Amino acid sequence: MKKRKLIINITAVCLLIISLLLLQRLLMPKYVSAIVEGSLIEEYYQETTGHDVIFVGDCEVYESFSPITLWENYGITSYIRGSAQQLIWQSYYLLEETLQYEKPEVVVFNVLAMKYDKPQKEEYNRLTLDGMRLSPIKIKAIQASMTEKENLIDYIFPILRYHSRWDELTAEDFQYMFKKKKLFHNGYYMRVDVRPVTTVPEGRKLANYRFGDNAYYYLDKMVDLCRDNDIDLVLVKAPSLYPYWYDEWEAQIEEYAAKHDLLYINFLELIDEIGIDFNTDTYDGGLHMNLSGAEKLSVYLGKVLAENYGLKDHRNDDVYKEVWEEKVDFYYDMKAQQYYELEKYGYLKSFGAKPPTS
């Protein structure tokens, strides 16, 4: 009798745990047809081969550099572990996590994130952290990122955060409950649409231009992490016209790069040299590069990386070749699909874009 009761109770608890896990999967946002940026981080775990270059940073990395272009032009394998408004401590922990899986030759960090010294918004935290696999590093990333009202347990058991989505569920939530379709190109978010720059806003005056101590603390940690792992760290500033990049910020990064013997490339100063045309190379009026802009930047950056860090050309390496050919096919398929949608609907309907009127 006792044994039967025990078996029933154990079965019941197991069933409850399974139901909760299934419910959690169902209730978590899928980020497939809207706010697709939420899927960026988790796609990394599908990678089967290592990379020469790892990018970390905010939208300025995942919109400005195309790993496929780097591959096609220089045989450089790369992955962008970027996410929307990725804060520097998130970049640091994502890099630390990446090093658990592979050891790249070069790490590229976009310095715009230096402007944030404190946790910002829960919504953005989620876009970065939910996609990370549960590990001690993820816990540290969460603890560094949480705003006052957030709880660690809400990240560890996301059902506690997303339970209220029960009345918003769509067919997509069921369709992608276990497996999601691939949306990005080694972390690059492709957009072929164009919205030229019309006005360039002036930066408003700030009370204090000095980057915060916390931001510097994590930049130092990133430098140390790369140094300890024999990785070259490159600092970049993508050529986005806004958020505004102040001269005072530029001076601090230049000074920091010089002090730590790091390569720093400010693409804002290379616009003409690279041939960026803000009438054709941005999809949102200068905030982000579109495919055309990203490819131009990647050609330039690839050359710098290949020349300065002696990265090997893997194009004739059979292991990489097979994997990357598939990626290249997917890239061009999506490119064609995007042009098709652009022509048919006037906007990228199934790629997370909003209709032009909205």
Partner 1 sequence: MLFTSYSFIAFLALLFTVYYLVPRRFQWMLLLFASYLFYFIAGPTYVIYIFVTTLSTYLVSVKLESLNKAQSAYLAEHKDMSREEKKEYKASVKSKQRKWLAACLLFNFGILAVVKYTNFAIANINAVIGAFGGGTQLSFLKLALPLGISFYTFQTMGYIIDVYRGKHPAERNFFKLALFVSFFPQLIQGPISRFSDLAQTLYKEHSFDSRNISFGIQRILWGYFKKVVLADRILVAVNTLIKNPDTYQGAYVLIGMLFYAYQLYADFTGGIDITIGIAQVLGIEVKENFHRPYFSKNIVEYWRRWHITMGTWFRDYLFYPLSVSKPMLNISKHSRRLFGEALGKRIPVYLSTFIVWFATGIWHGASWNFIVWGLMNCVVILISQELKPFYDWFHSRFNVAGKLYFKVFQIVRTVLLMSSIRMFDCYRDVPMTFRMFGTIFTRFSFKPFFDGSLLKLGLDLSDYIVLLAGLIVLTIVSVSQARGSVRRQLEKKPVLVRYAAYYALILSILVLGAYGVGYDSSQFIYNQF
Task: Please give the residue ranges that form the binding site for partner 1 (CB under 8 A).
Answer: 8, 12, 15-16, 19-20, 23, 27, 122, 149-151, 153-154, 159-161, 163-164, 166-167
Residue 340 half-sphere exposure toward CB, CA atoms < 13 A:
8
Biggest alpha carbon–alpha carbon distance for the chain? 82
Closest CA to 161 of 137, 125, 135: 125
Residue whose CB is less far from partner 1, 19 or 135: 19
The distance of closest approach from Cβ of residue 23 to partner 1 in the complex, given in angstroms and rounded to an integer, is 7
What is the C-alpha separation between 86 and 56, in angstroms, rounded? Answer: 8
Q: Quote the least distance from Cβ 5 to partner 1, whole Å.
A: 9
Helical ranges in 239-281 per DSSP H:
247-259, 271-274
**Considering the complex, what minimum distance in angstroms separates the CB of residue 125 from partner 1?**
10
- The CA-based angle 150-188-230, given to 5 degrees, is 80
What's the closest the beta carbon of residue 90 comes to partner 1, in angstroms? Answer: 18
The CA distance from 200 to 242, in Å, is: 8
CA distance linking residue 110 with residue 237, whole number of Å: 5
C-alpha to C-alpha distance for 109 and 129, rounded to whole angstroms:
18
Residue (5 or 181) nearer to partner 1, CB: 5
Minimum distance between the CB of residue 270 and partner 1, rounded to whole angstroms? 41
Tell the smallest beta-carbon distance from residue 129 to partner 1 (Å): 13
Instruction: Collect all residues with Cβ–Cβ distance below 8 Å to 7 and sequence separation of at least 6.
Output: none
Nearer to partner 1, 155 or 324 (CB): 155
Cβ closer to partner 1: 160 or 258? 160
Identify the CA nearest to 337 among candidates 185, 186, 195.
185
* Least distance (Å) between residue 15 CB and partner 1: 8
Which of residues 121 and 227 has its CB atom nearest to partner 1 in the complex? 121
Amino acid identity of 53?
V
Q: Least distance (Å) from partner 1 to the CB of residue 8?
A: 6
Least Å from the CB of residue 1 to partner 1: 13
Return the number of other C-beta atoms located less than 10 Å from residue 241's C-beta: 18
Nearer to partner 1, 167 or 202 (CB): 167
Nearer to partner 1, 23 or 262 (CB): 23
- Helix 67-74 × helix 291-309 angle, to 10°: 50
Q: Which is nearer to partner 1, 63 or 130 (CB)?
A: 130
Q: What is the separation, in whole angstroms, between the first and last Cα of the chain?
A: 65
In the complex with partner 1, the residue whose CB is nearer, 168 or 329, is 168
The torsion angles phi and psi of 345, rounded to 5 degrees, stand at -105, -15
Give residues with Cβ within 8 angstroms of 89, minimum separation 6: 141, 144, 145, 214, 218
